[in-house]
Amino acid sequence: WAGPGPAVVGRGQRGCRLHRRAGRAPPSRASPAPRRLLPHAPHRLLALTDMALGEGEGAAAAPPEDEAEAEALARGGALEAFGESAEARELLGGLRAACGDGAAREGALERFRALMDKYQEQPHLLDPHLEWMMNLLLGLVQDETSPADLVHLAFKFLYIITKVRGYKTFLRLFPHEVADVQPVLDMFANQSPKDHETWETRYMLLLWLSVTCLIPFDFSRLDGDLLAQPGQTRMSIMDRILQIAECYLVVSDKARDAAAVLVSKFVTRPDVKQKKMASFLDWSLCTLARSSFQTIEGVIAMDGTLQALAQIFKHGKREDCLPYATTVLQCLDGCRLPDSNQTLLRKLGVKLVQRLGLTFLKPRVAKWRWVCRCRGVGGYQRGCRSLAANLQLPVQPQHPPTAQAPPPDSDEDEDEDVPEEVESVIEQLLVGLKDKDTIVRWSAAKGIGRVAGRLPRELADDVVGSVLDCFSFQETDNAWHGGCLALAELGRRGLLLPSRLADGE
């Protein structure tokens, strides 16, 4: 422990002035109060604080790594770089030797997990090291001499990295050449969806396959001759990928999430959407229709299917998804997800509803939005994200913010017919604002903002009025909170016009 830094001393001085005003003796500077630590594991943090201050009995016997962790926690968890890269390289390089020893294998896993968990709040520090870690681990996977246990172990390490950094950042690092498609598909032949000990392998393989399926070539070129033997035909690559995705969309482990990512990227391909999108959507709607949220199996199947549908309508082109949007909305209404006690299902239902609403409406930027055009002290102007650039602007007298008046013909598309389904979408989103769980209300609020941004001015104003109805004394605190979230989202997007501000008084 190197003693209090300048921030701690400064805070102590402010505390002294406050104590003098209150007539109390200031605390001693010899033992300043510890800085605020991270908000988890209070009992552990107290022990680490005592060790750092030298007040615990076992402080002198604390191992060096605990002292380093305590110091990092005392600094508020602010790290500057991936300081354990050498140790991580040593752990990854010794996996082949540790694979045969169960104790060594578990020890390496736990140590690597502890190293990665320290960067949960600052995962971007791992970015310069992701590529070499990926190459080391995939080298073990692609080595034909590697035993199955070593391959599974390498995928466990890959999952630990993905959990900390996020799969979206990790996806671009996977090999994605044409030659990688067949080997990844062949690895699935040795996987069992019922093997719960190796789910990390299937999760990472599905993510890898979601990248390789983006190759800019028609999959029919990779099939070659589908006649394996006279009278027998083998499945095309397109059918194999779709079969794998459908299989893992209904499993009970995290591979279900990766399968939804795979489907959203695969089905929206130009060559696949013409042949397989309709059949996959039929399979999805049948799965939803025969599943019940009152059984565990039904919840699992609905979870994976809703994830896949939401991502398809998010990443797919509007003209490709529009013919199926009405049918999907009708099926979703029949599922009665708001009556479910499963928070995740209700959230996914709201998420899919808003994506369907955006599919019904043409993408556009509402010209009637309220745009702030003010520059105050310091020259701040909305739209300039750089504080340094703002401070360098000349200081001008502060003017009240004004709304930029839209040109007379700015609403030339006001007369455009809005599909009837949009009313049902908005109604379901308004119901989601009153949900008992925050994540559902938050998703509904974002949906309200996105859909309102594509509506004509009068209809969007009606939506704002419906949101304001949440602030009634007959409504619960959940409705009030959901209404606040929706108003914040509308205001952030410039859809809350100044003429409506007086309604909140």
Q: What is the pLDDT of residues 119-138, one digit of tens each?
A: 999 999 999 999 999 999 99
Q: Which residues contact 442 (CB under 8 A, 6 or more apart)?
A: 485
Q: Which residues contact 212 (CB under 8 A, 6 or more apart)?
A: 174, 175, 176, 177, 180, 181, 184
Q: What is the mean pLDDT of the chain?
A: 80
| Lowest model confidence (mean pLDDT) among 69-83, 153-167, 229-243 | 69-83
Q: How far apart are CA 375 and CA 262, in angstroms?
A: 47
Q: What is the mean pLDDT of residues 203-224?
A: 88
Q: Are 202 and 184 in contact (CB under 8 A)?
A: no
Residue 373 Cα distances to 30, 381, 404, angstroms = 52, 7, 7
Tokens describing residue 362: 């043409």
Q: How far apart are CA 446 and CA 350, in angstroms?
A: 10
Tell whether the model's pLDDT for residue 89 goes beyond 70.
yes
Render pLDDT for 135-194 as a digit per residue (tens, 0 to 9).
999 999 999 899 999 999 999 999 999 999 999 988 889 988 888 899 999 999 889 888
Q: How far apart are CA 111 and CA 451, in angstroms?
A: 47
Q: Higher pLDDT residue, 234 or 87?
A: 87
Q: How far apart are CA 8 and CA 34, in angstroms?
A: 8
| Lowest model confidence (mean pLDDT) among 213-227, 354-368, 400-414, 465-479 | 400-414
Domain ranges of the chain: 101-226+234-360, 421-504
pLDDT attached to residue 68: 56
Return the DSSP state at 121: S
Per-residue pLDDT band for 373 (boundaries 50, 70, 90) equals: low
* Percent of residues, the chain, with pLDDT higher than 90: 56
Per-residue pLDDT band for 46 (boundaries 50, 70, 90) equals: very low
Render pLDDT for 411-448 as a digit per residue (tens, 0 to 9).
445 556 788 999 999 999 999 999 999 999 999 999 99
| Long-range Cβ contacts of 122-127 (<8 Å, 24+ apart) | 122/77, 122/78, 122/79, 123/164, 123/165, 123/166, 123/169, 125/79, 125/80, 125/81, 125/82, 126/82, 126/161, 126/164, 126/165, 127/165, 127/169
Render pLDDT for 402-411 as a digit per residue (tens, 0 to 9).
445 454 444 4
Tokens describing residue 143: 């080595």
pLDDT attached to residue 266: 95
Half-sphere exposure of 239 (CA within 13 A, CB side): 6
Looking at domain 101-226+234-360, its CATH architecture is: Alpha Horseshoe (1.25)
Q: Is the pTM of this model over 0.85?
A: no
pLDDT attached to residue 66: 63
Q: How far apart are CA 301 and CA 323, in angstroms?
A: 24
Tell whether the model's pLDDT for residue 235 goes beyond 50.
yes
Per-residue pLDDT band for 372 (boundaries 50, 70, 90) equals: low
Q: What is the mean pLDDT of residues 354-368?
A: 89
Per-residue pLDDT band for 369 (boundaries 50, 70, 90) equals: confident
The maximal CA–CA distance of the chain, rounded, in angstroms, is: 98
Tell whether the model's pLDDT for residue 29 goes beyond 50.
no
Tell whether the model's pLDDT for residue 382 goes beyond 70.
no
pLDDT attached to residue 74: 53
Tokens describing residue 195: 């093997």
Tell whether the model's pLDDT for residue 271 goes beyond 50.
yes
Q: How far apart are CA 334 and CA 336, in angstroms?
A: 5
Q: How far apart are CA 140 and CA 204, in angstroms?
A: 14
Q: Are 483 and 467 in contact (CB under 8 A)?
A: yes
**452 closest CA partner among 403, 492, 412:** 492
Q: Which residues contact 197 (CB under 8 A, 6 or more apart)?
A: 152
Q: What is the mean pLDDT of residues 334-352?
A: 95
Render pLDDT for 480-504 as a digit per residue (tens, 0 to 9).
999 999 999 999 998 887 777 776 5
Q: What is the mean pLDDT of residues 75-96?
A: 85
* Percent of residues, the chain, with pLDDT higher than 70: 73
Q: How far apart are CA 470 and CA 456, in angstroms?
A: 22
Tell whether the model's pLDDT for residue 79 goes beyond 70.
yes
pLDDT attached to residue 503: 65
Tell whether the model's pLDDT for residue 106 goes beyond 60.
yes
Fold match between 101-226+234-360 and 421-504?
A: yes
- For 68-216, where are the E strands, in sequence order? none
Length of the chain measured in residues: 505
Tell whether the model's pLDDT for residue 231 goes beyond 70.
no
pLDDT attached to residue 245: 94
Looking at domain 421-504, its CATH architecture is: Alpha Horseshoe (1.25)
Q: Higher pLDDT residue, 460 or 42?
A: 460
Tell whether the model's pLDDT for residue 269 goes beyond 90.
yes
Q: Higher pLDDT residue, 379 or 164?
A: 164
